[in-house]
Amino acid sequence: AIMREIRADPDYLDDPILLEYLQSLWQPLVAQARVRGNITADMDQRLAWEPFLVRDRSVNAFALPGGFVGVHLGLIAVTATRDELASVLGHELSHITQRHIARSISNSKNQSLISLASLLVGVLAASRGGTSGADAANAAIVGGQALAAQGQLNFSRDMEREADRVGFAMMSGAGYAPGGMAAMFEKMDQSSRLNDSGGFAYLRSHPLTSERIGEARARLGT
């Protein structure tokens, strides 16, 4: 249903030459995921495993439910090697194979339960009456909401780290130069003025780019 809407969007790009290039990088990664057992027989039959192009200058790619991966033209434009683009595709493929979308939905439900619990505690505190009771209620409610939000951010960063790790193994096993991931992170760092500004790192849904560069280099032993 999502893809039907995307295909009707003018920014959906049906370019045979670029799609052929994208598929030439994508298919070895999917094959390696099957070899490694990241794609089960059930997943293989149910999901599409299809990349597509988006007419957008930003350096970005994203995974969707159903096994679809969108790739912005801006991302392709900044890559100098097949290995760099393959590292991003491997990362997004890992979001699908590791069921990150479904796990994120489940985690969101858990965080909602935390918010609900804090609300109930706040109601009980308020029922005790007085200024102290109202203050305790507000503290419980706000604290619970902050805890739930931080829990969601932490979970998102953990999924990104897992996608980096699994994607690195996938691209290496598929025959791509593993140094492509660190090189791609460096380009992503340069493309964004906000990356690694040092401010509010704990509020980011992704790990700091410098952190990801360091981890990618560590996997290379450099």
Determine the Cα–Cα distance for residues 125 and 60; give it in Å rounded to an integer.
Answer: 46
Q: Residue 70: helix, strand or coil by DSSP?
A: strand
* Helix 16-36, helix 82-97: angle, nearest 10: 50
Residue recorded with tokens 């159903």: 66
Q: What strands, in cross-sheet order, belong to the sheet with 12-13?
A: 12-13, 50-54, 68-72, 61-64
92 is catalytic: yes
Q: Which is the catalytic residue, given 83, 84, 160, 164? A: 164
Determine the Cα–Cα distance for residues 62 and 60; give it in Å rounded to an integer.
Answer: 7
Determine the Cα–Cα distance for residues 182 and 218; give it in Å rounded to an integer.
Answer: 10
Q: Which is the catalytic residue, given 11, 92, 135, 158? A: 92
Q: Which residues contact 205 (CB under 8 A, 6 or more apart)?
A: 153, 156, 157, 160
Residue 216 φ/ψ region, left for φ over 0, alpha for ψ in the -120 to 50 degree band, beta for the rest? alpha
DSSP assignment letter at 69: E
50 is catalytic: no
* Residue at 136: amino acid letter: A
Calculate ∠ Cα 57-62-66, nearest 5°. Answer: 135
Q: Which residues are designated catalytic?
A: 92, 164
